């Protein structure tokens, strides 16, 4: 890992990946099954990112940043709003119009949330943590990201992840959170 690969750059790279996935899902309007598959990947990756922030970013922000507790509470509230939209977007019974509607809601919440982190939270981290601390946290986040293997999880069965979720009674958000907490990001 080079000096630029710290926690801030790892999380910022995730934000760019989400922008790409949101764009791809938005352009797949004529390909329902593919659109839903890419949507499932996007939901899973967004949950993985939220869990990474809860594991590596929020504890250090609470402890080290001025008004860190307040900042983290605001971030968590943003995650809760986004995850509710992800739950709505992940419902297996959505029509294409409903899917598009929830995707628009997600864009309206996720873009400003990511921008606020990059404009406010990440610069505060850079001022209050050493580069070595940020690199160490970035390394841990990258290792957990590789261990999380969401793409492998989604490809794990012949049936779609959506079918497995419906059978389990859990939403995609809860299933991915459970998978991450038992594997890559145990508390």
Per-position DSSP letters for 37-104, written without gaps between them: HHHHHHHHHHHHHHHHIIIIIHHHHHHHSTTHHHHHHHHHHHHHHHHHHHHHHT-TT--HHHHHHHHH
Rounded to two decimals, the pTM is 0.78
Q: From its phi and psi, is residue 149 left (phi > 0), alpha (psi between -120 and 50) or beta?
A: left
pLDDT tens column, 137-164 = 999 888 877 776 555 555 555 445 445 4
Q: In whole angstroms, give the CA distance from residue 145 to residue 9.
A: 13
Largest CA distance in the chain: 49
pLDDT tens column, 13-72 = 999 988 888 888 887 876 677 777 788 888 888 888 888 898 889 999 999 999 999 999
Q: In whole angstroms, give the CA distance from residue 76 to residue 4.
A: 26
What domains can be seen in the chain, in order of their start residue? 7-182 (1.20.120.520)
């Amino acid at each position: 890992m080079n000096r630029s690969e710290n926690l801030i750059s790892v999380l910022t790279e995730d934000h760019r990946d989400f922008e790409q996935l949101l764009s791809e899902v938005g352009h797949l309007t004529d390909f329902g099954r593919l659109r839903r598959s890419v949507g499932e990947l996007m939901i899973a990756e967004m949950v993985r990112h939220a869990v990474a922030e809860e594991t590596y970013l929020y504890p250090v922000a609470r402890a080290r940043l001025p008004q860190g507790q307040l900042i983290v509470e605001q971030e968590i509230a943003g995650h809760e709003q986004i995850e509710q939209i992800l739950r709505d977007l992940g419902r297996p019974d959505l029509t294409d119009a409903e899917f598009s509607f929830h995707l628009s809601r997600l864009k309206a919440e996720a873009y400003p949330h990511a921008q606020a982190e990059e404009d406010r939270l990440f610069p505060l981290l850079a001022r209050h943590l050493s580069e070595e601390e940020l690199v160490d946290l970035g390394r841990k986040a990258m290792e957990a990201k590789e261990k999380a293997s969401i793409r492998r999880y989604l490809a794990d069965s012949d049936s779609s992840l959506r079918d497995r979720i419906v059978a389990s009674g859990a939403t995609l958000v809860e299933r991915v959170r459970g998978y991450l907490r038992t594997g890559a990001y145990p508390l």
